[in-house]
Structure 1
Amino acid sequence: MNDEPSRLQLIRFARHVVVQQATAALEQIDGWIAVEERREAERRQGEEMRPAPPEWLIQHGLNRTNLDAVHTGDCWAATKSGRCRPATRQQAVEALRQQVPACVHCRPDTALGILD
């Protein structure tokens, strides 16, 4: 008797190994997909829960007592300074009237309708 497997048996064994490897690879990829879907859902939830940015910002000086500038809430220059605090429209108008400079980048004086 011949104990060696036939060519057909070897091909079927090779197919079985490939199916096992492919199944394992697909399970791994499905795991990666699940992780990314969870991260994406968490990111979306975080964005939805994030409070809206303020409409106006007032930049304080280094000693935090003097006022350096008035900005719109989405001004890129305001985020660079790190010394800005949210302000109401009335506070921004009042600061501009008290000669606090308007940011030259976002022009809150124009947005507020206050022109010299």
Structure 2
Amino acid sequence: MNESRPLTRIDMLRFARRVVEQQANRQLALIDRWIAEEERREAERRQGEERRPPEPERLIQYGLNRRNVDAVHAGGCCAARKSGRCRPATRGEVIDALRQQVPACPHCRPDTTLGILD
């Protein structure tokens, strides 16, 4: 501005408007970055879900030494997820384990779903 004349009220209001406009543009750019990051995370999450292999239908739970078979489970059993010592198994492997007196999980009862009852 010209230093010879004092600032008028309209000059100060225009200056305030420019400041607010710059701050608003900066904040909008920041929010746009946050939106883009969140959209990227969401796309990655969806892609991960699509690539995840299907849950096995049957599981065999091994002992602490990873050799002894402790129990058999259905695929979605919460007790099997908690143990962390389960591996996917075929229908034949589960039937063989049940015939060898390996206990069936009392929560998911895979012996009932396979039609093998004591």
Q: Which TM-score band (shorter chain)? A: over 0.9
Partner residue of 1:56?
A: 58
Q: How many residues align?
A: 116
Partner residue of 1:7?
A: 9
Partner residue of 2:100?
A: 98
Runs of 4+ in 1 over 6 A off after TM superposition: none
Structure 1 Cα separation of the partners of residues 47 and 103 of structure 2: 37
Partner residue of 1:42?
A: 44
Partner residue of 2:69?
A: 67
Residues 2 and 65 from structure 1, CA distance in 2 versus in 1: closer, same or farther, beyond 3 angstroms? closer
Identity value in percent: 68
Structure 2 Cα separation of the partners of residues 83 and 17 of structure 1: 62
* 1:61-98 alpha-carbon deviations (Å, 9 max, x no partner): 12222211000111111111111111011111221122
User: CA RMSD for the aligned pairs?
Assistant: 1.4
What residue ranges of structure 1 are gaps of 5+ in the alignment? none
Describe the SS at the equivalent of 2:111.
helix
Q: Give 2:19's match in structure 1, choosing from 6, 17, 21.
A: 17
Describe the SS at the equivalent of 1:58.
strand
Give the structure-2-normalised TM-score.
0.92
Partner residue of 2:110?
A: 108
Deviates most, 63-72 or 30-39: 63-72
Q: Partner letter of residue 14 of structure 2?
A: R
